[in-house]
Amino acid sequence: MSVLCCRIPHFLTVLACRRQPAWTGRPLALVGPDDRIWAVSPAAQQDGVQAQMRPQQAQVYCPDVLLRDLDLDASQQAQADMLATAAQWDLPVEPLTWGALYVDLHLVGKSAASVRPLAAELGQRLRVTGGNALQPALGWDSGKFTAHAAAMQVMPGRVRLVDKVDEVRFLKPLPVTLLPLPPLHLQQLHWLGVRTVGQFAALPAAAVWQRFGAAGKRAHRWAQGKDDRPVRSAAPEEAGVTTVTLDPPTGLLAPVVAGVMASLHPTLAQWAKTLTGLRHLRLTLDFIANADQSLDLTFVEPASQSARVQAALVQHLTTLTWPGAVQAVRWQALATGELLAPQPTLFDLPDVRQDTPAVVSASLAGRYGDVLLRSQVVEPGHPIAERRSHFHALSAV
């Protein structure tokens, strides 16, 4: 195999600054439709602002941060332009995330010497398409993971070519956080003292599999330079249709979402084991006595967590006009893609959570026992004030 990875660092914020030059150099965070930070400029990153934060939290870290809505249309157009440029040689091109893609070069060359001219030409073409502000960084190797790691290591405007014989040596010192393992697994590795890809690769395969499951086993192979995943083009894949019947038919959102997610969850879990996620989901709602309506959920960054897919589903369904009760929903996964590595920190991503009192109490109950309570108004009209309400321990709920 011969894989070239192209990535344009800070793709979204650079695009935004190109449209609004006054933002250049300032701490900027772009907020997506889910009210979370989707992209962070280097200046904001330095102050600790990270993707997936809520805007309020970003402001806590960086009071001067510019919070702006992400222009999704313009971003998707720029992404499409980048993919089109890379596809000019009629080679398989697979989108990775915003401003990043893979190109399969096995028909062109399998050595660094043979690939170098093509990599340079692609880099130049992308610069012409995107402009000087969108400088790509290129990495090449026989496998996707190493090619991606090489592209992340190199400066924009440069290419890093990793020959097969150099793979293990190249990967060895890199941080283990490059592997797309769940944050909990990365934390466990951190506690075990495993900080580099080389240290992870040196662990016994059976132990990794037992501890971290199929996803860990796969990541272990990648860490050893054994990544045989093909580059898949962005064309839709053939996928079966799954039908969820709603009995009785309903005009309510909750049962529709619950039914679809119950059906989808096992598939998402299965994909997660292979470090793959959902990229394109087509839903068709079958209304009683009305025409079907279809909608497409697309994820530039593949999603494997049910919560994220559910949030997208809810958001889409609430913007749809429902002409009647839904009697069935058909879903079809049209495209999947590889999961990306989480944040490069081994610590939990700080987040403004939205826990319930019971969740908060449960995490503190061991230390504080029954001092955490919930209250309830039971007799609002009682003549004796202290009888109108009472407290009860949350642990008893």
For the segment 54-73, give every residue that binds another protein (CB under 8 A).
Answer: 54-57, 59-61, 66-73
Lookup result for tokens 């955490």: 372
Q: Are 83 and 74 in contact (CB under 8 A)?
A: no
| Positions 202 through 241 that interact with another protein (CB under 8 A) | none
Question: Which residue, 106 or 172, has its beta carbon nearer to another protein?
Answer: 172
**C-alpha–C-alpha distance, residues 16 and 11, integer Å:** 9
Q: How far is the CB of 13 from another protein (least distance, A)?
A: 10
Question: Which residue, 20 or 188, has its beta carbon nearer to another protein?
Answer: 20
What sign for the dihedral angle of Cα 289, 290, 292, 296?
A: negative
Coil vs helix vs strand at 391: strand
Question: Which residue, 23 or 212, has its beta carbon nearer to another protein?
Answer: 23
Q: Are 324 and 288 in contact (CB under 8 A)?
A: yes
Q: Which two tokens stand for residue 381?
A: 């009209």
Lookup result for tokens 């994909």: 271
**C-alpha–C-alpha distance, residues 349 and 191, integer Å:** 17
The answer to whether residue 250 forms part of the interface with another protein (CB under 8 A) is no
Beta strands across the sheet bearing 93-97: 93-97, 100-104, 3-7, 137-141, 159-161
Q: How far is the CB of 87 from another protein (least distance, A)?
A: 20
DSSP secondary structure string for all residues of 187-201: HHHHHTT--BHHHHH
Q: How far is the CB of 311 from another protein (least distance, A)?
A: 7
Kindly give the interhelix angle for 253-273 and 306-319, rounded to the nearest 10 degrees.
150
Instruction: Give the x/- contact pattern for another protein in 159-198, rule: CB under 8 A.
Output: --------------xxx-xx--------------------
**Total residues at interface with another protein (CB under 8 A):** 104
Q: How far is the CB of 355 from another protein (least distance, A)?
A: 3
Q: Longest Cα pair distance anywhere in the chain, in angstroms? A: 90
The answer to whether residue 9 forms part of the interface with another protein (CB under 8 A) is yes
Q: How far is the CB of 193 from another protein (least distance, A)?
A: 18
| Positions 326 through 355 that interact with another protein (CB under 8 A) | 340-344, 350-355
| Positions 363 through 392 that interact with another protein (CB under 8 A) | 363-364, 367-368, 371-377, 380-386, 388-391
The answer to whether residue 316 forms part of the interface with another protein (CB under 8 A) is yes
Question: Which residue, 48 or 323, has its beta carbon nearer to another protein?
Answer: 48
The answer to whether residue 35 forms part of the interface with another protein (CB under 8 A) is yes
